[in-house]
Amino acid sequence: MEKATLQLETLSCPSCMQKIEAAVKSVNGVDKDSIKVLFNSSKVKTNFDAGVTSIDAIQQAIEEVGYPVLKKRVKAG
């Protein structure tokens, strides 16, 4: 499993967190139990199977629900 961290624009409401979490959960290959949307730091952290998906697919899912990704980083698990 790879560890992904995505920096978002400042989150303004708790419902944003739910939309982002749902978007990330919809990506095949993401470890759904590992998803953390951090409101105060406007970050998303999750683990994913690099053989199934990529950080780019996770970024696309987040941006499709209206939240621009500013930076992204992957660390080997």
Nearest partner of 2 among 52, 71, 68, judged by Cα: 52
Q: pLDDT tens digits, residue range 40-53? A: 999 999 999 999 99
Q: pLDDT tens digits, residue range 3-42? A: 999 999 999 888 999 999 999 999 999 999 999 999 999 9
Q: How far is CA 37 from CA 19, 20, 51, in A?
A: 10, 7, 23
pLDDT at 56 (0 to 100): 98
* pLDDT range class, residue 77, cuts 50, 70, 90: confident
Q: How far is CA 44 from CA 27, 54, 60, 68, in A?
A: 14, 14, 13, 12
pLDDT at 40 (0 to 100): 93
